[in-house]
Chain A
Amino acid sequence: MQISFTLNGRPTTVDVEPATLVAELLREQLNLTGTHIGCDTSQCGACVVHLDGLPVKSCTLLAPALDGATLLTIEGLQGAPGSNLMHPMQEAFREHHGLQCGFCTPGMLMTAVALAAEKPDLTEAEVRHGLEGNICRCTGYQNIVVSVMAGAAAMNAAKGE
């Protein structure tokens, strides 16, 4: 079947088997391998993307659900349009060492951006709770939490400008 959606700001039309998972569609058909598959069973969060602004695990979403929707993947996450800068959340992860191998990072970032967008004054407890669905095997989470707090603050500051 043919589906049309907005992918990272661009209108996109693809032919897919209806049983294709969004994570597979992105990685195999569209060559966007920034969205990772860590488990394929909704546990790890490495595959999180934004569907109409909300974070979803793309390994648990069928491609037909994209028809008419707006999808944002890690490849589309960026700072001020046209600035060539990284998103404040990405900057915060770099600054505060919120990553090691980087495998969980795209999912962490997508979840973190959604969390911060939904609630500007996140507490540490809320960040930890909000990241429950994202597993990291490297960092021990401490620096991820610090990064998300800093990134959320930076997003807020940017909004105020």
Chain B
Amino acid sequence: MKSIQELEQIRNRMRDQMAKRENSDGYRIVVGMATCGIAAGARPVMRTLIDELKLRNKADVPVTMTGCIGVCRLEPIVEVFSADGQKTTYVKMDENKAKRVVAEHIVNGNVCTDLTIGAAENQTK
């Protein structure tokens, strides 16, 4: 890196890319892949998401990983961002639930309410 301008170029290019990603009609999926998530089974969940998206011709939906968000007791956590920036947080995921999220949420635009953090919180109350 030779200059601040160079850094700014990367920043702007990346921001453009992220903005495009957010404004596209597509979804974006983020999987928590810190130690807590991985220990709870995030790896097979992520793999299932990717496979299932491929199967349903939605391989263009990006699946990325992220760190620990702090609610380790609810891992594996999967967050789905929709085109309008709306975030849905799915908790205690497994492979079957991952398939459901792809089928119902990504393909059919239907939030799987029973798998969200709100539902999990209501249960423990």
Tell whether A and B belong to one assembly.
Answer: no
Footprint of A on B, CB under 8 Å?
none
